[in-house]
Structure 1
Amino acid sequence: MTQPASPPESSDIVVVGGGVIGAAIACWLKAFLGFPGSVTVIERDPSYAHASTALSAAGLRQQFSTPVSIALSRFGAEVLRAAPTLFAVDGEPGPDLTFREDGYLMLAAAPSQEAALRANHAVQAAAGAEVELLGPAEIAARWPHLRTDDLALGAFGARGEGWFDNMGFLTALSRRARAAGARFLTDEAVDFEMAAGRVAAVRLASGGRIACGAAALAAGPRSGAAAAWAGIALPVGPRKRTLFVFDCAAPPAPETRPPLMIDPSGVFCRPEGRYFLAGAPPPEDPEVALDDFAPRHAEFEEIVWPALAARSEAFEAIRLQRFWAGHYEWNAFDRNGVVGPHPAVANLVFATGFSGHGLQHAAGVGRGVAEWLLHGAYRSLDLSPLGWARLLENRPLIETEII
């Protein structure tokens, strides 16, 4: 990819952050909604070596606790299935994003977990999600290697849930956006130049500035710091998650391999080719430095392996192959995304704070933010529940199903 030698002097819309959500905003603006103006996406690291998009487990599920999250997931599944057509460029089909709809299996043991699973299932069913509740005997019949004596209930998404090619998705969005005229700039946004309560320009680490009519903030874990440039307190920062890839000495038979399974302990595991991918929320989850990507090796021996070995004899003899750490853009207020403009800065539109589910919701958020920037309103899915009003009025829209 050839980068421009210098930033443009101005752009109608500047997107801060070129990860999957920033790329989706640009793609919908230029490719799908036909915005005739200029769009510039600023990305500090085009290798995406430490981007949340690249380091994600790349799952998509409908099993959330809030209707807006479920709706975003359902649209995301539609986009993944349609990728070859949707992201075609100059007659060349878009990529097959290898969306494996093998489902999510959420397991409950304690009475409180069972109650939460049933309550969330009611919300999911009302929102059109295809999720079924399973008793312990039904779970054992489908996945006989799982131990179910302690289980009270399971929830399985048979369609619209699974995992996919995360970087393929980002590439498809960026390529389609570029083909429609969006400009991707390798630089780092370091400040907003404010005038009359609006973002007048975005200042760059290279020393330049881009005057703009509007800005979209999709800077992932860096979004809290970036919001402060406009005098806005945004409770979003980096939380670290370590992922582990392992193989089994005696893996489950192919026909009984589990989907993406979330154990009552919080440990998750899914097939990854001949291997398995696993991780867990850490018992202590402080905000970390933006450059802290050191894996927490002890989580495998102390949390992940014991839980998996207790759940299945297939996971008793396993061997760690590799591991890495990435960041969630954690919204400490309610673990839900913050989408839309802030009333104090009307031309700064937010798309951040998804606390681990930004990749799977990127398509719907990109579309919604693009609609807002063009029309001042959402034209398809109503994302107003994720707006700033709830933060300013202290009305959390808590997303309980964070993995």
Structure 2
Amino acid sequence: MNSSSSDIVVVGGAAIGSATAYFLKAVLGYAGTVTVVERDPTYAFSSTTLSAASIRQQFSTPENIRMSLFGLEILRSLEERFGPGADVGFHEGGYLLLATEAGKAILEQNWQVQQAEGAEIDLLGPETLRQEFPWLNVEGIASGAYGRRGEGWFDSHSLLDLFRKAAREAGALYVRDEVVGVEHGKGWVEAVRLKSGGRIACGTLVNAAGPQAGAVAAMAGLALPVEPRKRSVFVVRCRTPLPRMPLLVEPGGIYIRPEGEVYICGGAEEERGEKRADGDFDVDYSLFENAVWPALAAQVPALEELKLIRAWAGHYEYNTLDQNAIIGPHPALPNFYFANGFSGHGLQQSPAAGRAIAELITTGRFQTLDLSVFGYQRVIDDEPVFELNVI
């Protein structure tokens, strides 16, 4: 068995794992060794690269808003951080969340929280919505929350590449392999075992394994309520121009946004009774025909004439407790750190999560953002932190 050692082992090298390595080495100047173990450096099936790659501040939990605002700060300062030419194609097209009368109070309540956190979100009534977006059917719509600035979409591959390259240049080592075991004893992680037969002794382990995070935690004898869930994304073409379309979310949670000359849409999955998606990357085309298309056509009449061009399916790390992140160490295994369970908003929160984990490891506490609300203790206590704006 090939044996080596590393002060920190990060399990998973996609957005969150690479952001953690970046902040440890390139930003905080951590002098120890950092090894990132990634089983697929092409990221062909990664949640990061298969996501809809967007960022918003329209959350109901203050800490989620703050994490997103931190991510926005990163997106707006790429050249300053990563050098001339650094670009992820960030398009601040905005989010528009629509609500019927039944959901209006929650939308307004969330908007108050967003305003208090400094997010630039406008609350619009039906007539204003009609004027701003003439192609929108506002019948039955009581209100809409519109992020004119700071919300939009970007290229996930490019952001991952920036984090990964900067982390490697600062000294992080990336290893193509898969963690298949975690050696631990007396309240301490001692090493990880690799599929290749290797072993890496470590002082700290960071679980950034995305949809496989629950399995990695189980290797250390820890319970983590995170599992892979499948999400289908559909690429469509519309004959009628829809000027200034933001990322639109209709009251039922189905979304659509521009992507160049086409649009991507989805969001029809029913979470209740949903199964794990281990190894399943087959697109569920029935969702498009039976739910996505009818809902979008009702909200935007021009979308009645759609042409489905292609589709893909990806996994995200679904937190079955409360669909929110779990960030920080395990109380009984303090050198095992979680950065898991983001439930669809991990890419946009990867900068804040990576920074937070790096700060916890190097200083013992949160510095930039206090994310203690997302600590593991709530899993033990069965005290969920529910997000009212789950998209």
Q: TM-score range by the shorter chain?
A: over 0.9
**Which whole-Å CA distance do the structure 1 matches of 2:71 and 2:195 have between them?**
34
Counterpart selection for 1:269 from 256, 259, 279? 256
Gaps of 5+ in 1: 1-5
Q: Find the counterpart in structure 2 of residue 144 from structure 1.
A: 134
Cα deviation per residue 1:64-95 (whole Å; 9 max; x = unaligned)? 0101100000000010111122113xxxx252
SS state at 1:334 partner: coil
Q: Quick one: which amino acid aligns to residue 139 of structure 2?
A: D
Counterpart selection for 1:280 from 257, 262, 267? 267
Mapped pair 1:80 → 2:71: no
Q: Find the counterpart in structure 2 of residue 9 from structure 1.
A: 4
**Which whole-Å CA distance do the structure 2 matches of 1:192 and 1:294 have between them?**
31
SS state at 2:353 partner: helix
**Which whole-Å CA distance do the structure 1 matches of 2:364 and 2:251 have between them?**
43
Q: Quick one: which amino acid aligns to residue 37 of structure 2?
A: I
Q: Find the counterpart in structure 1 of residue 100 from structure 2.
A: 109
Q: Quick one: which amino acid aligns to residue 289 of structure 1?
A: A
Deviates most, 9-18 or 189-198: 189-198
1:249 CA drift (Å): 1.9
TM-score computed with the length of structure 1 as normaliser = 0.95
Q: Find the counterpart in structure 2 of residue 244 from structure 1.
A: 234
Q: Find the counterpart in structure 2 of residue 331 from structure 1.
A: 319
1:281 CA drift (Å): 3.4
Q: Check whether the contact 2:19–2:355 (CA below 8 A) recurs between aligned residues.
A: yes
Counterpart selection for 2:346 from 335, 352, 358? 358
Q: Find the counterpart in structure 2 of residue 39 from structure 1.
A: 34
**Which whole-Å CA distance do the structure 2 matches of 1:289 and 1:311 have between them?**
30
Cα deviation per residue 1:344-373 (whole Å; 9 max; x = unaligned)? 100001001000000000000000000001
Q: Check whether the contact 1:102–1:158 (CA below 8 A) recurs between aligned residues.
A: yes
1:158 CA drift (Å): 1.1
Counterpart selection for 2:89 from 89, 98, 105? 98
4+ residue runs over 3 A deviation: none
1:8 CA drift (Å): 6.4
TM-score computed with the length of structure 2 as normaliser = 0.98
Q: Check whether the contact 1:257–1:271 (CA below 8 A) recurs between aligned residues.
A: no
Q: Find the counterpart in structure 1 of residue 383 from structure 2.
A: 395
Q: Give the count of matched residue pairs.
A: 390
**Which whole-Å CA distance do the structure 1 matches of 2:246 and 2:239 have between them?**
19
Q: Quick one: which amino acid aligns to residue 371 of structure 2?
A: L
Q: For the aligned residues, what is the CA RMSD?
A: 1.2
Q: Quick one: which amino acid aligns to residue 351 of structure 2?
A: A
Q: Quick one: which amino acid aligns to residue 368 of structure 1?
A: A
Gaps of 5+ in 2: none
Q: Percent identity?
A: 51
Mapped pair 1:56 → 2:46: no
Q: Find the counterpart in structure 1 of residue 306 from structure 2.
A: 318
**Which whole-Å CA distance do the structure 2 matches of 1:279 and 1:315 have between them?**
14
Shift in alpha-carbon separation, 1:22–1:284, aligned structure 2, 3 A: closer
1:316 CA drift (Å): 1.0
Counterpart selection for 2:220 from 227, 230, 251? 230
Q: Check whether the contact 1:251–1:315 (CA below 8 A) recurs between aligned residues.
A: no
**Which whole-Å CA distance do the structure 2 matches of 1:120 and 1:314 have between them?**
30
Mapped pair 1:309 → 2:309: no
Q: Check whether the contact 1:147–1:312 (CA below 8 A) recurs between aligned residues.
A: yes
Cα deviation per residue 1:8-48 (whole Å; 9 max; x = unaligned)? 60000000000100000000000000001100000001111
Q: Check whether the contact 2:75–2:90 (CA below 8 A) recurs between aligned residues.
A: yes
Q: Quick one: which amino acid aligns to residue 249 of structure 2?
A: I
Q: Find the counterpart in structure 1 of residue 282 from structure 2.
A: 294
1:229 CA drift (Å): 1.0
Mapped pair 1:125 → 2:115: yes
